[in-house]
Amino acid sequence: MTLKAHRLITSAPVIAYPVKKGAPGVAITIAAPYLRPEQIRLPMEYPVTTGETDHPGGYDGALAEFYDSTAAEIAAHLDAGRDVAVLCEGDPFFYGSYMYWHERLADRYRAEVVPGVTSVSGASAVLGRPLVQHDEVLTILPGTLPPDVLAARLRTADAAAVIKLGRRHFGHVREAFEDADAAGRAWYVERATTDRQRVAPLSEVDAGSVPYFSLVIAPSPSPGTPFATNRTPDTVVTEEYAVPAPTGVLGSVDVVGLGPAGPAWLTPEAHAALAAADDLVGYGPYVARVQPRPGQRRHMTDNRVEAERARHALALAEAGARVAVVSSGDAGVFAMASAVLEAADETKSPVPVRVVPGLSAMQAVASRAGAPLGHDFCVISLSDRLKPWDVIARRLTAAASADLAVALYNPASKERRHQVADARDLFLAYRDPATPVVVGRDVGGPTEAVRIVPLGELDPETVDMRTLLIVGASTTRTYPRPDGSLGVYTPRRYPA
């Protein structure tokens, strides 16, 4: 209890508190040693907690009626000039019951909310483990969520706490931790900081003994932050294709799409795969985009060694590692998924390969411009490193003559300078020079720029390897946006 809470509780004429029928009440038990005999006690007895009710409105209806009636009792004391202290275990606005009285009374009476120590903070303290460190994110979840939803959230959590357990939900919560591969580092804490406190590994708890006031916590997995003196350094592999000694256990490979740029574009599934990996494999700048995890090995290679990188990832997995091969954008679009699957097919590798999709660059650029890919479209890479230019030219001509919108990947590099001009001229044989072209560069990055230019005015000198082009169809239109810029969309209906 804070000093401020103590001062207000001991001075208020009326002490109101929620209590389960037939129970002494947790909040009033904590406060009782500090109360005076002349203070009025106002118990507010729940009509139902976790059991069944015959109320015509069901559980929600019974509770709403309870809060309405008890709010009226509090209001009667306030109208009589008596201050009321409403007790709440933990923090009033952290899943606390007080919030329902607050929303019924605070618009009519002056209300001061005094923060308290949450159950999550108390559990962390009794475990003697930090909840989160440095840039880690803490996820707090109610145990009333469906198990599959809980598991999905836990897979992406650096650290997590699941509250609101009880016998009814505990089995589902433990199942969710197991499905998320997080049960091994999870702890059960019951009635933290009280004389009835109990702490145990999650796996050792009997579901039949779990009270409502308990939680499961998976604290920070890190041994320290960059500022800690006892930090275990990240393992960095200096030999690009080094493989640890076989363990006798077969690992796995996840080919993960990171999205076009930054953590905001990363899907929860991709985040979970990266966090679970023993080894990260990929082009150096892409691996550098992944938040380091202590003990995780990072293999950074050049951009032009896809086949070698794929075979290395499979070799690591065959030695027992859980490997994440990273690609920018979507791993299956001009990226590492096909390279890894081709290597696995050629070598008949026993390693299971999973492709974890990401947001593609064309989706990112299209979203910034509006909806240029709103109707039929195709995707073509202008890079002639792995296929001859005459094949690319035939495909561009076919797409142009079919009146498809076209997303153009890898349009130019320092060495490849003719492709954009040649592609523009091929399109101009079938498209009006006024056809809108979206020129998106570094979308999601610090130098993001998106322009709309007519096809006939597309300047190849403004295009580089970090640029993606979207050439509109004959039906693609521009429109003025409220900020004065141009937007682009392709209607879903094609003219008859």
Q: For the domain that residue 94 is a member of, what is the CATH number? A: 3.40.1010.10
Q: Say if residue 348 is in the same domain as residue 371.
A: no
Q: Say if residue 345 is in the same domain as residue 368.
A: no
Residue 62 is part of which domain span? 3-105
Give how many domains the chain has, as a whole number: 4
Q: Say if residue 379 is in the same domain as residue 407.
A: yes
Q: Is residue 112 in some structural domain?
A: no
Q: Is residue 223 in some structural domain?
A: no
Q: Is residue 231 in some structural domain?
A: no
Residue 415 has a pLDDT of 78
Order of strands, edge to edge, in the sheet holding 370-371?
370-371, 486-489, 477-480
Q: Say if residue 370 is in the same domain as residue 476.
A: yes
Q: Say if residue 395 is in the same domain as residue 484.
A: yes
Residue 169 has a pLDDT of 86
Q: Is residue 51 in some structural domain?
A: yes
- Name the one residue in this structure whose structure tokens are 């096909």: 338
Q: Say if residue 193 is in the same domain as residue 129.
A: yes
What are the per-10-residue average pLDDT scores of the chain (496 residues)?
94 94 87 95 86 80 93 97 95 93 96 94 89 86 91 88 88 92 90 88 89 88 50 50 78 94 86 87 90 81 86 94 94 94 95 95 96 96 91 96 96 85 95 96 91 95 92 96 94 90
Q: Say if residue 87 is in the same domain as residue 150.
A: no
- Dihedral angle computed from the Cα positions of residues 104, 109, 115 and 116, in that order, rounded to the nearest 10 degrees: -70
Q: Say if residue 378 is in the same domain as residue 479.
A: yes
Which domain-ending residue is among 300, 331, 356?
356
Which domain-ending residue is among 329, 356, 383?
356
Q: Say if residue 400 is in the same domain as residue 321.
A: no
Q: Is residue 243 in some structural domain?
A: no
In 3D space, the residue among 328, 349, 338, 347 whose CA is nearest the CA of residue 445 turns out to be 328
What span, in angstroms and rounded, lies between the C-alpha atoms of 139 and 154?
A: 8
Burial of 496 (0-12, 13-18, 19+ CB in 10 A): exposed
Q: Say if residue 133 is in the same domain as residue 96.
A: no
What span, in angstroms and rounded, lies between the C-alpha atoms of 463 and 419?
A: 10
Q: Is residue 232 in some structural domain?
A: no
Amino acid of residue 234 = D
What span, in angstroms and rounded, lies between the C-alpha atoms of 8 and 39?
A: 12
Put simply, whether the predicted model's pTM sits higher than 0.85 gets the answer: no
- Name the one residue in this structure whose structure tokens are 């015509």: 56
Cα separation values, 460 from 57, 72, 412, 417, 469, Å: 67, 73, 8, 8, 11
Q: Is residue 242 in some structural domain?
A: no
Q: Say if residue 400 is in the same domain as residue 373.
A: yes
Residue 240 has a pLDDT of 63
Residue 237 has a pLDDT of 54
Which domain-ending residue is among 105, 127, 158?
105
Q: Say if residue 387 is in the same domain as residue 312.
A: no
Q: Is residue 318 in some structural domain?
A: yes
The enclosing domain of 390 has a CATH number of: 3.30.950.10
Contact by Cβ (8 Å): 162, 216: yes
In 3D space, the residue among 339, 318, 316, 311 whose CA is nearest the CA of residue 327 turns out to be 339
Residue 50 has a pLDDT of 64
